Chains A and B, each alone.
Chain A
Amino acid sequence: QVQLVQSGSELRKPGASVKVSCRASGYTFTSYPMNWVRQAPGQGLEWMGWINTYTGNPTYAQGFTGRFVFSLDTSVSTAYLQISSLKAEDTAVYYCTRVGSGSKWYFDLWGRGTLVTVSS
């Protein structure tokens, strides 16, 4: 079954770090770029960037540089999003999503999302 399985909800204090995982199954992991999308409570979708699953090269959207790191472990077909120095405004659902076609860059497969709550 083609799917992306994300790790469970996380609660962190301000200043801490969190690492969200996204495990792919049912397809060749390294053949499809992986993207990350943030959705703050009651807000819209915000593209965070993507990682080339073949080379491991990450690209970050404006506003997601510095504290955000995309990484991979291709041996277990898993992508990771690490956020450091967490702030209250990082509270959101984070989705991993696969690019369906390299030429058109649409997102055809989504994880269920991981809720990260930052609160003291």
Chain B
Amino acid sequence: QSVLTQPPSVSGAPGQRVTISCTGSSSNIGAGYDVHWYQQLPGTAPKLLIYGNSNRPSGVPDRFSGSKSGTSASLAISGLQAEDEADYYCQSYDSSLSGSVFGGGTKLTVL
């Protein structure tokens, strides 16, 4: 069971907007630690998608956006495309564990 909780799956039609939640606690997200997001396409290594809650690395389309509030964070993907079908993971720091933690991952299906 992951310290950060994500829905196992989400889906949407091409062009639609979907959001993926990441719920933590007072020892991680709620303590003010940043949340980062990764995209893992089938059979490949994870790729940094969002860092520092809402910042996009160079090359990541602005269709991807992140936000954080209280003990939760969200990843939003607008204008869904078939190529967005992947697993998405949130990551933060946990003071109780004294280390990084990942969410369990969310599989995005583009219908």
Contacts and interface: CB of A to CB of B under 8 A. Distances in A.
Nearest to B101: A47
A106 B34 contact: yes
Given A44-B89, A44-B104, A108 B57 contact: yes
Contact of B48 (A45, A49, A50, A106): A106
Interface string A42-64: 00111101100000000101100
Interface in A96-111: 97, 100-101, 104-108, 110-111
Nearest to B105: A44
Interface residues of A, number: 24
A105 B97 CA distance: 15
B102 A45 contact: yes
Given A47-B101, A106-B34, A95 B45 contact: yes
Interface of B: 2, 34, 36, 38, 40, 44-48, 51-52, 57, 87, 89, 91, 93, 97, 99-105
Interface of A: 35, 37, 44-47, 49-50, 59, 61-62, 95, 97, 100-101, 104-108, 110-113
Given A37-B46, A44-B102, A106-B52, 14 more contacts: A44-B2, A44-B87, A44-B104, A45-B38, A45-B89, A45-B105, A62-B99, A100-B51, A104-B36, A106-B34, A106-B48, A107-B36, A107-B38, A110-B45
